Amino acid sequence: MSKPLRIALAGLGTVGGGVVRLIETNAALIERRAGRAIEIVAISARDRSKDRGVDLSPYRWEDDMTAFATDPGIDVVVELVGGSDGPALTLARRALAQGKALVTANKAMIAHHGIELATAAEAAGVALKFEAAVAGGVPVIKGLREGAAANAILRVYGILNGTCNYILSTMEDTGADFAAVLAEAQAKGYAEADPSFDIDGVDAAHKLAILASVAFGTTIDFAPVEITGIRRVLAADIAQADALGYYIRLIGMAETEQAADGTTRLFQRVHPHLVPRDHPLAHVDGATNAVVAEGNFSGRLLFQGAGAGDGPTASAVVADLIDIARGDAKGPGAAPFSIPVAALETLAPADSGPRMGRAYLRFTVADRPGVLAEITAAMRDAGVSIESLIQKGRAGAGGTDTVLVAMVTHEGPESAIAKALRLLHGSPSLTEPPLVMHILSD
């Protein structure tokens, strides 16, 4: 067999510890499948004394992880530090500049700097691999780059954040409201002490931007992603969706569209959706991730599995290392984003206004005469056709009675809903901003 692939591991958190355990446990299997051994030769993390539940004594410790970039005894740098900038980006840039292959699970860094890093990797003739950056252990990047390579991808969408999916599915099961379930998720370690990155949709948006680039052969463009999180979803919304035959899921969706001027544009949005019960994503529960890709010849492809955790994410990291050990990361098919950076298209963002669909709208309003008429008049004047409407009372803060008014619209342009909300903006009848959730269509 060939000489071992020598790797350095930067970052020894949950995933880093998992990578060490996986390589040690499955060393013989990995060697057979890769055609050579994969050996950890150096490690680095912020705290050398921390107990990580794995014996690190066989490996050389490096206080300055950027030294990995110039070490001639290292073939691949594995970056598991995290963060879009700072030490992780510095390490990535230096490693590629020095001709080291790079494997990372850092979705924020790839979403913000992936094109720069891919350009550097192509110039150096080395691999940049990031399977673990999207959907943990689910091989969706490989599936799109390789398994669906002959297809034009029409749309890619899915459940991209396990924390949000755990919260929403637990709200379904228990009837509890968002704050209580979030606290439970934090107590169990499913949510961070500051969960904003997850529950506000940013984590899912990073993953979506990466998926869109791989699926459509476009440059990554994170800035235009429309992002709405789940912190305003109520138990009443969950119950109402259930009564209508839907489950609520945070969905990241990307597709290309033809604009009125004939140009192709890229639509990207992370938003809570009502998902029909017969759709595959409706029954994805807990911290599971699932991605649907629609190919013009393959049809609907579903990738589903654990979206986080030491084992699943480490599995994706080591799978990338095996590809590099085999030599799969060289040659015409080795471009990090499926095709060379120079051939990636740069598409302008699509306008969501002309998009046709149905939506669920929920208003929290003062319980007094005329409010419902005000809302329906705004819908009429904006050209929104109402399919169904439900009014439900609840006790408001300070003893003030408020009412939840929920409606489902007939199919129509999103611009009409936006106009109706503008007409209602500033109305004293509304005690908080309306919540809009689109209904996922096949």
Looking at the domain covering 356-439, what would its CATH class be? alpha beta
CATH of region 141-306: 3.30.360.10
Residue 86 burial (10 A CB sphere; 0-12, 13-18, 19+): exposed
| CA 306 – CA 309 distance, rounded (Å) | 8
Structural domain boundaries in the chain: 5-136+311-343, 141-306, 356-439
| CA 225 – CA 395 distance, rounded (Å) | 36
207 catalytic per annotation: yes
CB 28 within 8 A of CB 68: no
* Pairing, β 430-439 against β 264-276: parallel
What local confidence, expressed as pLDDT, does residue 330 receive?
A: 67
Partner residues linked to 269 by β-bridges: 226, 253
What does pTM read for this prediction?
0.94
What local confidence, expressed as pLDDT, does residue 331 receive?
A: 61
Written as six digits, the tokens of 226 are 């429309």
| CA 47 – CA 246 distance, rounded (Å) | 47
What local confidence, expressed as pLDDT, does residue 387 receive?
A: 95
List, for the chain, all residue ranges whose pLDDT scores fall below the cut of 50: 395-399
Superfamily designation of domain 5-136+311-343: NAD(P)-binding Rossmann-like Domain (3.40.50.720)
| φ/ψ (deg, to 5) at 359 | -145, 160
Q: Is 313 helix (H, G, I), strand (E, B) or coil?
A: helix
Q: Which of 100, 107, 142, 207 is catalytic?
A: 207
The pLDDT tens digits of the residues spanning 344-374 come to 999 999 999 999 999 999 999 998 889 999 9
| CA 248 – CA 277 distance, rounded (Å) | 10
The pLDDT tens digits of the residues spanning 269-298 come to 999 999 999 999 999 998 899 999 999 999
